[in-house]
Amino acid sequence: MNIFKTTNILMVLLTNLLLVNFSCKKSIEKKQFTSSVSIQKKFYGKTKDNKEVFQFIMKNKLGMSVSIITYGGIITSWTAKNKKNKYEDIVLGYNCLEEYESRSPYFGALIGRYGNRIAKGKFVLDGKEYILDRNNGPNHLHGGLKGFDKVIWGAKEIIKDSTASLELRYLSKDGEEGYPGNLQVKVIYTLNNRDELAVNYEANTDKATIVNLTQHTYFNLSGNFDNDILDHELKINADSFLPVDTDLIPTGEIRKVKNTPFDFSFPKKIGFDIKNEDLQLKNGKGYDHCWVLNEQEKDFRFVASVFEEKSGRLLEIFSSEPGIQFYSGNFLDGTLPTKTKGNYKFRTGFCLETQHYPDSPNQPNFPSVKLDLGEIYSSKTLFRFSTKKN
Ligand code: GLA
């Protein structure tokens, strides 16, 4: 066989090999594309002012499903597996739009333009004072009377090989709720095949403003909303927290958690210290405080975990944010209806809201929440579910 012929045969073999590999790869990708994740769109209802609201149900191949509505970007249900591999709903919420519109304590919602409180509803930016609503006693809370939790978001589904995403967009106009600047906001929820939900936030403005976006899901990992959350074991990657006054405004002090009921640097039951005679627990009516997270120099790191022994469910949270508000459901009082029957009783849900510190615009020592023209606000949080024995 001459050298020319040998090279030719080798070339043909190689091309065939490449073709086979290429088509194999293609068919595998195609299979994943069509079968491993999905998003279903449904009409959810009409708001009081007659605007249509849609629900998007994202599912992964393991069995996790996350339902999100365009009103408030609210997660209305989210299933996670227990140790028997049964996927059950683990978030508080309602079963109709009317309830979300009329009396929701931010169940499952996106929060903005400023998550958490701003003292006396005012702040100064570049020498100018801005006045916001006082919708929480003397203070401003969670973006005001009509925060991002009560607006309708534009939605786009994005399906990739093994992730389902819902991209939500909202333009908050200059002056809305008293905030300066047209703020263009994008939030992307992404579900993957490892039972993880990522929440990516992005925003830009045409004038200096303040931004602090978060997600306000109430979890109950037992999957049974009759149970309170006091047996859940919480760990927070923080050595310090922010003490507050009786209106839940940080005093400015950054206090070490060591030897206080606020020490969750190792897994501890939420109920273990909650009844302590501690002034901070009294001010918060339980836990309703911001923890100053460790490793703030890292772009993204572990920030908290919660374990519920009976179901075996473990939730781990990762974030780029400097703080996390841990709220132990202290305002739930048995008056709000669950999705099935009965009412949400005291402390039947907890929130872990990754964010910048409360009242940052008025606290020069806290990390800045200012967003200037030309800058891009970007923040990321990831919720990972798994199970463990003990
Ligand atoms: C946040 C606040 C709480 C409470 C809830 C909603 O987590 O910190 O004080 O207002 O929202 O009820």
pLDDT value at residue 266: 98
Ligand 1 mutation pick, 107, 140, 141, 332, max ligand atoms within 8 A of CB: 141
Classify domain 38-387 at the CATH topology level. Beta-galactosidase; Chain A, domain 5 (2.70.98)
367 contacts: CB under 8 Å, gap ≥ 6: 296, 322, 356, 357, 360
pLDDT value at residue 35: 55
**Atom of ligand 1 lying closest to residue 248 CA:** 9
**Catalytic entry in 142, 177, 196, 216:** 216
pLDDT value at residue 389: 82
By the 8 A CB rule, do 176 and 352 touch?
no
Annotation marks residue 232 as catalytic: no
Ligand 1 mutation pick, 212, 327, 330, 335, max ligand atoms within 8 A of CB: 327
* Residue among 338, 342, 343, 301 nearest 322 (CA): 301
Ligand 1 mutation pick, 74, 106, 281, max ligand atoms within 8 A of CB: 106
Tokens representing residue 201 in the block: 């936030």
**Atom of ligand 1 lying closest to residue 116 CA:** 8
Q: Which residue has the tokens 């023209």?
A: 373
What are the b/e assignments for 73-93, b being 16+ CB within 10 Å? bbbbbbbbbbeeeebbbbbbb
Give φ, ψ of 40 to 5 degrees. -115, 135
By the 8 A CB rule, do 116 and 63 touch?
no
DSSP string spanning 272-300?
SSTTS--HHHHHHTS-EEEEEES-TTSSS
pLDDT value at residue 128: 98
**Atom of ligand 1 lying closest to residue 358 CA:** 8
Per-residue pLDDT of the chain (390 residues; tens, 9 = 90+): 344 444 454 444 444 444 333 333 333 334 334 659 999 999 999 999 999 999 999 999 999 999 999 999 999 999 999 999 999 999 999 999 999 999 999 999 999 999 999 999 999 999 999 999 999 999 999 999 999 999 999 999 999 999 999 999 999 999 999 999 999 999 999 999 999 999 999 999 999 999 999 999 999 999 999 999 999 999 999 999 999 999 999 999 999 999 999 999 999 999 999 999 999 999 999 999 999 999 999 999 999 999 999 999 999 999 999 999 999 999 999 999 999 989 999 999 999 999 999 999 999 999 999 999 999 999 999 999 999 987
Tokens representing residue 106 in the block: 């931010």
Which amino acids bring their CB within 6 angstroms of ligand 1?
105-106, 141, 248, 288, 325, 327, 331, 351
**Atom of ligand 1 lying closest to residue 284 CA:** 9
**Atom of ligand 1 lying closest to residue 288 CA:** 8
180 CA distance to ligand 1 middle (Å)? 24
Taking CA atoms only, the protein residue closest to ligand 1 atom 8 is: 288
pLDDT value at residue 14: 45
| H helix or E strand, kind and range, residue 67 | strand 65-69
Q: Is the dihedral of CA 294, 373, 116, 317 positive or negative?
A: negative
DSSP string spanning 99-121?
HHHHH-S-TTEEE-SB-SEEGGG
Distance CA 40, CA 56 (A): 6
Ligand 1 mutation pick, 116, 142, 219, max ligand atoms within 8 A of CB: 142
122 CA distance to ligand 1 middle (Å)? 19
34 CA distance to ligand 1 middle (Å)? 40
353 CA distance to ligand 1 middle (Å)? 10
- C-alpha of 67 from chain center: 13
327 CA distance to ligand 1 middle (Å)? 7
pTM value? 0.91
Annotation marks residue 216 as catalytic: yes
**Catalytic entry in 196, 308, 353, 356:** 353
Q: Where are the domains of the chain?
A: 38-387
By the 8 A CB rule, do 230 and 274 touch?
yes
106 CA distance to ligand 1 middle (Å)? 8
Taking CA atoms only, the protein residue closest to ligand 1 atom 9 is: 288
In 10 A of CB 96, how many CB atoms? 12
Tokens representing residue 91 in the block: 């978030």
